[in-house]
Structure 1
Amino acid sequence: MYESTLELAENKLMVLYILKSIKMPISNSQLTEIILENGFINYFTLQQYVSELISSSFIRYDRKNEKKVLVLSDKGEKVLSMFKDRISASKIEAIDSYIKERIDTIKKELTLTANYTIDDNDNFMVNLKAIENDTLLMDLKINVASNKQAISLCDKWKSNSSEIYNKIMQLLINS
């Protein structure tokens, strides 16, 4: 019993540590990816911990760029500062290494959106957005005829948004 209580505490502290270390709000799916890729906690247990941490006001959900993101609260930060030493050094090292390797991808996921909807005439409205430092850089809406085109535009935006943005800007400025 005592060992499982220590493990429970360490796992919840690890969630707090990830939110503090990443230095920006992240989505639940991004947190889940970090935890699962490192094999720390299974999905269902993690979701239970997130729910309990929210209930305890250690973390909370906020809205950022139309996305629901997790944020470490002041209360959570205080608890982490008092009990961080309860997280094993190997887990801290793994988290730090993971974040360092993937921070650009995580930021990109938070600042780019690409989605589409279908209207009454079976046309697809694609919405592509780029946001940087809470400032909307571009919000482009394009009507396309097929689901295939909509998916292709979204995929291209997600994989190459910087180049696409620069080309659009050059076309608009130089025309």
Structure 2
Amino acid sequence: MFEDTLELAENKLLLLYILNELKFPISKNQLTEIVLENNFMNYFILQQYILELISSNFIESVEQDGKHRISITSSGINVLNLFSNRLLDEKKSIIDNYIKLNLNNIKNAISVTADYTIENKNSYVVTLKAIENDITLIEVKLNVVSNKQARDLCAKWKNSSSDLYTKIISLLTQD
């Protein structure tokens, strides 16, 4: 019983540590990816801990550009500061290395969005957007005629937004 309680506390502290180290809100999916890729806990326990941390006001769900993100609260930071010595240095090191290696991908997933909606039977509106430091760099809305074309545009934007942005700026500023 005591070991279960200790593991529960350590896992919750680990989630707070991850959110604190990232320094910006991320999606539940991104947090899930970090935790599962490093085999810290299983999916169902993770989801339960996220809900418990939200209800305890240690993390919060915020809306950014119509998407829900989670971030650590000041109460969560206080708890982490008080009990961070209970987290194994090995786990902290794994998280630190993971963040160092994947920070750009994590930020890119947040700052680059591509969605589409069905306008009518033969029309889809694709919205492509890139944000950096809370500033919208570019937002493009396009009407396309097929679902496949909409999906392809979204995939290409997500994979090559930086190159496409540079090309658009270049084309628009050419003499």
TM-score, normalization by structure 1? 0.97
Residue number in structure 1 paired with 2:103: 103
1:84 and 1:96 map into 2 onto residues whose CA distance is: 14
Does residue 67 (structure 1) correspond to residue 67 (structure 2)? The answer is yes
SS at match of 1:90: helix
1:160 and 1:27 map into 2 onto residues whose CA distance is: 21
Equivalent residue pairs, number: 175
Give the letter aligned to residue 153 of structure 2: L
Deviations 1:132-158 (A, max 9, x none): 111111110111111111111111101
1:58 and 1:170 map into 2 onto residues whose CA distance is: 45
1:65 and 1:111 in contact (8 A); partners too: no
1:66 and 1:157 map into 2 onto residues whose CA distance is: 19
SS at match of 1:140: strand
Residue number in structure 2 paired with 1:91: 91
Residue number in structure 1 paired with 2:10: 10
Residue number in structure 2 paired with 1:173: 173
Deviation for aligned residue 1:122: 2.1
Q: What is the 5 A alignment of 1:2-151?
A: 2-151=2-151
1:49 and 1:28 map into 2 onto residues whose CA distance is: 12
User: RMSD of the alignment, in Å?
Assistant: 1.0
1:129 and 1:140 in contact (8 A); partners too: yes
Q: Percent identity?
A: 51
Deviations 1:73-101 (A, max 9, x none): 11100000010011111111111111111
2:119 and 2:80 map into 1 onto residues whose CA distance is: 48
Residue number in structure 2 paired with 1:163: 163
SS at match of 1:113: strand
1:89 and 1:41 map into 2 onto residues whose CA distance is: 17
1:110 and 1:64 map into 2 onto residues whose CA distance is: 9
TM-score, normalization by structure 2? 0.97
Deviations 1:9-47 (A, max 9, x none): 000000000000111111111000000011111111111
1:65 and 1:134 in contact (8 A); partners too: no
1:65 and 1:119 map into 2 onto residues whose CA distance is: 20
* Structure 2 residues without counterparts, runs of 5 or longer: none
Give the letter aligned to residue 38 of structure 2: N
1:43 and 1:128 map into 2 onto residues whose CA distance is: 30
2:113 and 2:9 map into 1 onto residues whose CA distance is: 35
Give the letter aligned to residue 139 of structure 2: D
1:2 and 1:27 map into 2 onto residues whose CA distance is: 32
